[in-house]
Amino acid sequence: MEANFKPVITNLLNSETIFQELHSINDLGKIYSQIIEEAALENASLLETNIHGGNALSPKEAIDCLHDSIRTARFLKGIYIALNDAKKNANGNRVEIVYAGSGPLATLIIPLLPFFSSKELNITLLDIHQESIDNAEKIAAKLGYLDFFQGFLARDATKYMHGKPIDVLITETMDKALTKEPQVSITKSLADQISENGILIPGKITLYYEHVLFAELLTAAVLDDEKRISNKPTSGKLELFSIDKNIETKDFEFQSTPIEVPKVYNETPDICIQTEIKIYADVFLHPAESIITNPYCVGALSSIKGSNYQLEYVSAPEPIWTIKK
């Protein structure tokens, strides 16, 4: 099977506008469509799996993530830079990579492999669904990439022990405002297995709150177009917390300081969480550039009887935001 990722990814890495990013991911989608057809992959299941910290997307939903185009473009850009930086620090050894939540297509690593040698990268794919792992391995075999991989493992990433320091940990297992999916729990479980100079992708996830009219906020859809512009958090935003490789190892919980209820809030009646992701280096996903950075409405200010409230977040057993009145 031929799958010429290199010119498509070269165009992506050189892209400077959203339109160029979208065009590149559209071309990448065409290549993957051909791969799925020629590799005779089985029809993807729609069954999600609940694990500690959220729901793992079904294999079909994981495939669809490819078409969250700006997300895919920025992660591939950031991971490419990260792999090259890790290679420089490897002193001639193979870079130890764990990709947790790979889905059936391993979208965030396989298209980058033409730019590297199998003597440089040692990759382990993790996914809770055996179907996803089987199909990812089938794709790697069909493309002649098996030498890059140490293992294709159907594992719960919140319980996985790698057995050696991880140089690059990749996990994009999140929904907006860190709800629904187990991004925090997976990061928490695997981050302390990263080597001293190792890299986490995404490197930092920062959440903010704002009082806004939620209905007027921009949102990204799975099928993107170049006209969409990201939301710009206002001067009234407040940083709530960030997740990075130094995350605490117990179940993550957060409670904000008291937030004052405005005396007049007719024009900004909703409490909204915004998300910004630093993938790596200077590669970012801003609010509403992706379905994973779409705004999230926690509730209405009219429901609060007192003069202030607090926002609370827990990562497990299900990731959820609540308002403490």
**pLDDT tens string 236-259:** 678 999 999 999 767 799 999 999
**Greater pLDDT, 46 or 167:** 167
* Terminal Cα distance for the chain, rounded: 59
Domains and CATH numbers, the chain: 5-204 (3.40.50.150), 205-324 (no CATH)
Whether residue 224 is predicted with pLDDT greater than 60 in this model: the reply is no
Sequence-distant (6+) residues with CB within 8 A of 135 are 39, 41, 42, 44, 59, 104, 105
CA-based nearest residue to 169, from 191, 197, 147 = 191
- How far, in Å, CA of 173 to CA of 25, rounded? 20
Strand duo 149-154 + 121-127: pairing: parallel
Q: What span, in angstroms and rounded, lies between the C-alpha atoms of 262 and 12?
A: 45
The pLDDT mean for the chain works out to: 92
Provide the whole-model pTM. Answer: 0.94
Q: Are 250 and 290 in contact (CB under 8 A)?
A: no
